[in-house]
Structure 1
Amino acid sequence: MSTDPQRIAVVTGGSRGIGRAISTRLSRDGFTVVVASASGGAAAAATLDEITSAGGHAIAVQADVADEHAVAAIFDRVANDFGGVDVVVHSAGRLGLSTIAEQDLDALDDLHRTNVRGTFVVAQQAARRLRSGGAFVGMSTSVVGTQFPTYGAYVASKSAVEGMALILAKELRGRDVTVNVVAPGPTATELFLDGKTQEQINALAKVPPLERLGTPEDIAGVVAFLAGPDGRWVNGQTIRVNGGMV
């Protein structure tokens, strides 16, 4: 077991998009980062290479976030290798769009297995394992507030994340552990841009008063604030990071 006092962060969905930006940002802030992903492979390897090339420290682990045994195994490894965990960022999630009338219920079950059960499983381990001074950060979506059509299943899952967070914050009373949720607006990730025309992208960029899409780094900066010393008085909150989109 390592006696290194360096702070340890577990980032689920940490190899792609917003999750990758969070992993690299926390590494720059001095964390050893455990990059967790469902598939591992080239994306995880590229994220590790980006971190280590910049002088940071990271390992990659693979798990289905809805599998409680696989997630517990990640935290067991972190405890064995590093002595404990200080920050857990649950960035893993799935997106599926459909009207409620046409929603395929098997797809609904798959989405909620990852987004609801997966969040619960990771939050449960975080509640059991985070050290004093630690932080849990979940991920929601600003569409919970904007309520765009075709996002019904996704918003239902992310509303569950937001509700869970305040309860967990209260349940961790006296532990000196914060629990918050970050809810991005339209963010220029590969997943978000895929399948959209340039005209659609331009229209979405005009929605926030700042008239641009968010970047993964915009989201990662807020997560880093919540994970760091300046965010210690923010607890049980959902922070909408969307350039002013209402």
Structure 2
Amino acid sequence: MKPLKGKTALVTGGSRGIGRAITERLTADGARVAFGYHRSKDEAMAVAAATGAHPVRADLAVHGDVLDLVAQADETLGGLDALVNNAGIWLPHGRFDDADEASYDEVMAVNAKSTFFAIHHASARMRDGGRVVNLSSIATGRPTPGNAVYAASKAAVEQFTAIAAQELGPRGITVNCVAPGAVDTALLRRSLPPQLLARTARNTSFGRLGAGDDIAGIVAFLLGPDAAWITGQTITAAGGLL
């Protein structure tokens, strides 16, 4: 029997990278899925055709779009059992001597604010016993020049996770977080030069970058019945990256 058969899930940023792998895994495990996308319409339609998941366009930097995404997912799926806050961005001008206010605001809006309000809106509609999984990053524990805004936005996600787990626990809803390491996505390749990517791969226990499926499997486990006693946790998934 498929572990998520009969369950419904909303995945933000579900058309590319880790989000696409999560959408594919959850549908393969029997869940009915709605997923958000922003600019990648062609990729979203391809994911929908391959998985049967329902795409919804949303700009997560806009609060109204977050509410609309949750509402459309709830209506389309006939209720929500799970929310996966996967969408995230990294932008340049993150150094203190090269700060850009617009970039700061956009990273915080997409990575932190949308996560907070997606939990706010989805939990109000979610059935008791539901699941929330947020995506963070190992950047929260690795001080790196130029990464202050991104790391801070993801640190906020980890705090939202810990506190939401306490607030939603009385309804049997678990809230957990996965903090990936270096996963081979377009976002990572835009963020790091090729020589640093190669060095990062060598520094994992397996001598490679992570893949979307490596993270999707952990998310699927946390949404499933065997993870009912796990909540408020941030799980590092970095392949032993040193």
| TM value normalised by structure 1 | 0.90
| Alignment correspondent of 1:123 | 119
| Alignment correspondent of 2:32 | 32
What does 1:170-181 correspond to in 2, within 5 Å? Answer: 170-181=166-177
Range 176-185 or range 193-202, more displaced: 193-202
SS at match of 2:74: helix
CA distance in 1, matches of 2:100, 2:193: 25
Note closer, same or farther for the CA distance 1:197–1:155 as it changes in structure 2 (3 Å cut): closer
Shift of 1:47: 0.9
Shift of 1:204: 1.1
Identity between Structure 1 and Structure 2 (%): 38
SS at match of 2:56: strand
CA distance in 2, matches of 1:61, 1:76: 10
Shift of 1:177: 0.6
Aligned length: 237
Range 176-185 or range 191-200, more displaced: 191-200
* Contact 1:40/1:60 (<8 A) preserved: no
SS at match of 1:234: coil
CA distance in 1, matches of 2:191, 2:82: 34
Note closer, same or farther for the CA distance 1:196–1:170 as it changes in structure 2 (3 Å cut): closer
CA distance in 1, matches of 2:36, 2:123: 18
Shift of 1:40: 5.0
Structure 2, gaps ≥5 residues long: none
Shift of 1:183: 0.6
CA distance in 2, matches of 1:127, 1:35: 17
Q: Does 1:11 align with 2:6?
A: no
Range 209-218 or range 9-18, more displaced: 209-218
Amino acid at match of 2:46: A
What does 1:110-149 correspond to in 2, within 5 Å? Answer: 110-149=106-145
What does 1:1-246 correspond to in 2, within 5 Å? Answer: 6-39=6-39, 41-51=41-51, 57-97=52-92, 98-194=94-190, 196-246=192-242
Amino acid at match of 1:89: V
CA distance in 2, matches of 1:197, 1:101: 21
Q: C-alpha offsets along residues 189-227 of structure 1, whole Å, 9 cap, x if unaligned? A: 122124755433211101223321111110111111101
Q: C-alpha offsets along residues 134-192 of structure 1, whole Å, 9 cap, x if unaligned? A: 11111110011122222111001000000111110101122111001111000111221
Structure 1, gaps ≥5 residues long: 52-56
Amino acid at match of 2:15: S
* Contact 1:40/1:62 (<8 A) preserved: no
Q: C-alpha offsets along residues 98-156 of structure 1, whole Å, 9 cap, x if unaligned? A: 32222212211111111111111111112212212211111110011122222111001
CA distance in 2, matches of 1:223, 1:95: 22
Q: C-alpha offsets along residues 61-111 of structure 1, whole Å, 9 cap, x if unaligned? A: 111224333332333333333321011001111112432222212211111
Q: Which has the higher helix share?
A: 2
* Contact 1:100/1:153 (<8 A) preserved: no
Range 70-79 or range 160-169, more displaced: 70-79
* Contact 1:65/1:121 (<8 A) preserved: no
CA distance in 1, matches of 2:96, 2:23: 34
Q: C-alpha offsets along residues 19-44 of structure 1, whole Å, 9 cap, x if unaligned? A: 00000000000011101112351011
Note closer, same or farther for the CA distance 1:196–1:113 as it changes in structure 2 (3 Å cut): closer
RMSD: 1.7
| TM value normalised by structure 2 | 0.91
Note closer, same or farther for the CA distance 1:84–1:202 as it changes in structure 2 (3 Å cut): same
